[in-house]
């Protein structure tokens, strides 16, 4: 769109100037020729053609090496003035000597005006190019930053899962093989979306459902999850693995037992907000809480140019996280 606009300007600008500039000249001088006369139209027409040719002659000098550009522009103006002077005074118009010399001055002033306009257009075009390059550079930076954030997957889940698997193997648990398959399925799904800065709610929950199933198998009667997602939001997007990270935090920061089960409630509202709520069950052991998971999600929203993408609140009984779902056209992966 921007390129089309610039092309239109480059086409219509010389035409407009070539047509309007002679009219200003006619209106600013007293002449014996009526404006609506054949001679006036002929003079106006020839003047427009001359100015149009002059525009592109000067435009050609802009493509020459900068060290000799000014010299070439001066030579073009002089040669063009001589040619037009001879052409107009000998072949086209019968004009006085005074007007003949005024013609040279007018061509010189028109040349200066054209050079100024062309310089301004060139400068504006260069600014546009620099702005485009800056936006491309920022886009690449955003992609790199998002990629870096996606590589910061908390290893807590993997380490705990491997420890659980080791325990199941030692106890010869018959569900060990099923546990391995579920674990591999989760990481296969994670790998399928990890290179995307955002993913649909539907794809995100393909990972989340598998993860929750695995955690429920690992913590019998200790985890209860209720999920209520409206179908109208399934094609909306959010930062990749954001829900996964929040669910991981639920298990990371809370104790889990059949006596004090962990309840997780996930739902969407009419405003396109995904809310994840869990009851607070502080662990007896003191564990450092880095908060990097939520910070990374918040940073991902910022890099996607989404304001207030993540909001969380905590009280004595619940920890609540709100994630904004985004229309597909508002995000470029």
SS in 3 state form for 300-313?
Answer: HHHHCCCCCCEEEE
Contact criterion met (CB below 8 Å) for 18 and 52: yes
- What secondary structure does DSSP assign to 263-300, as a single string? EEEEEE-TTSEEEEEEE--B-SS------HHHHHHHHH
Of the ranges 243-247, 252-256, 317-321, the best mean pLDDT one: 317-321
Higher pLDDT, 139 or 159: 159
How confident is the model over 290-332, as pLDDT tens digits? 567 788 888 888 878 888 999 999 998 999 999 999 987 666 5
Going from N- to C-terminal start, the domains of the chain cover 2-140, 152-330
* Cα–Cα distance measured from residue 103 to residue 97, given in angstroms and rounded to the nearest whole number: 10
| Cα 237 from Cα 331, distance rounded (Å) | 8
Query: 263 or 158: which carries more pLDDT confidence?
Result: 263
Strand 262-268 and strand 223-228: pairing? Answer: parallel
The whole-angstrom separation of Cα 120 and Cα 125 is 9
Which comes out higher in pLDDT, residue 281 or 154?
Answer: 281
Please tell me the predicted confidence (pLDDT) of residue 295: 85
pLDDT at 98: 47
From 3.40.640.10, 3.40.50.620, 3.30.360.10, 3.30.565.10, which CATH number describes the 152-330 domain?
3.30.565.10
C-alpha separations of 325 from 149, 274, 302 in Å: 19, 7, 14
More confident residue, 54 or 73: 54
More confident call, 243 vs 76: 243
Mark 42-58 as b/e (b = at least 16 C-beta within 10 Å).
ebbebbbebbeebbebb
Q: Averaging pLDDT over each range in 30-39, 85-94, 175-184, which range is the top one?
A: 175-184
pLDDT at residue 101, as a whole number: 60
Instruction: Look at 11 and 299; give whichever has higher pLDDT.
Output: 299
Which is nearest to 201 in space by CA: 249, 155, 265, 266? 266
pLDDT band at 243 (very low <50, low <70, confident <90, very high): very high
Question: Coil, strand, or helix at residue 223?
Answer: strand
Residue range 161-180: average pLDDT? 78
Give the pLDDT confidence score for residue 86 in this predicted structure.
65
Angle 176-193/201-218 helices, nearest 10 degrees?
Answer: 160
Better pLDDT: 177 or 27:
177
Give me the pLDDT at residue 89, please.
61
User: Percent of the chain scored above 90 by pLDDT?
Assistant: 19
SS3 202: helix
Q: Are strands 198-200 and 237-239 parallel, antiparallel or unpaired?
A: antiparallel
Average pLDDT of the chain, as a whole number:
76
Over residues 67-79, mean pLDDT = 69
Report the pLDDT value the prediction gives residue 232, as an integer from 0 to 100.
94
CA-to-CA separations, 261 to 26, 131, 171, 255, 257, in angstroms, rounded: 92, 55, 24, 8, 5
Stretch 248-255: mean pLDDT: 86
DSSP 82: H
Cα 181 from Cα 70, distance rounded (Å): 75
Q: Tell me what pLDDT residue 87 has.
A: 65
CA 245, 247, 249: angle at the middle one, nearest 5? 70
pLDDT classification of 287: cutoffs 50, 70, 90: low
Average pLDDT over residues 230-238: 94
Q: Please give the average per-residue pLDDT across 61-70, as a whole number.
A: 65
Taking only the tens place, the pLDDT of each residue in 98-145 is 455 666 677 777 777 777 787 777 777 777 777 776 666 566 655 655
Q: List the one residue out of 134, 142, 132 whose CA is nearest residue 306.
A: 142
pTM of the model: 0.56
Longest dimension (CA), the chain: 115
């Amino acid at each position: 769109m921007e390129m089309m606009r610039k092309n239109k300007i480059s086409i219509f600008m010389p035409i407009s100037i070539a047509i309007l500039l002679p009219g200003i000249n006619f209106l600013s001088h007293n002449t014996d020729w009526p404006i609506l006369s054949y001679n006036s139209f002929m003079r106006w027409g020839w003047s427009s053609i001359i100015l149009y040719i002059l525009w592109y002659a000067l435009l050609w000098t802009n493509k020459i090496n900068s060290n000799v550009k000014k010299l070439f522009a001066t030579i073009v103006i002089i040669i063009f003035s001589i040619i037009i002077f001879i052409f107009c005074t000998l072949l086209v118009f019968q004009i006085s000597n005074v007007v003949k010399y005024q013609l040279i001055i007018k061509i010189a002033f028109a040349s200066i005006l054209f050079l100024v306009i062309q310089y301004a257009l060139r400068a504006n075009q260069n600014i546009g190019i620099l702005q485009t390059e800056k936006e491309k550079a920022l886009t690449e930076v955003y992609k790199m930053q998002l990629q870096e954030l996606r590589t910061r997957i908390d290893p807590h889940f993997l380490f705990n899962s491997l420890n659980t698997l080791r325990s199941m193997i030692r106890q010869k648990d018959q569900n060990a093989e099923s546990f391995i398959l579920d674990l591999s399925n989760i990481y296969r799904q994670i790998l399928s979306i990890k290179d995307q800065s955002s993913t649909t709610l539907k794809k995100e929950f393909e990972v989340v459902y598998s993860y929750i199933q695995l955690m429920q198998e690992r913590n019998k009667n200790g985890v209860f999850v209720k999920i209520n997602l409206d179908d109208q939001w399934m094609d909306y997007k959010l930062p990749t693995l954001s829900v996964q990270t929040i669910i991981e935090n639920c298990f990371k920061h809370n104790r889990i037992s059949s006596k004090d089960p962990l309840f997780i409630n996930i739902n969407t509202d009419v405003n396109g907000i995904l809310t994840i709520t869990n009851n607070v069950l502080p662990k007896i052991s003191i564990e450092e809480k880095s908060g990097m998971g939520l910070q990374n999600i918040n940073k991902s929203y910022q890099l996607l140019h989404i304001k207030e993408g993540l909001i969380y609140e905590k009280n004595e009984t619940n920890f609540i996280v709100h994630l904004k779902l985004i229309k597909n056209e508002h995000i470029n992966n």
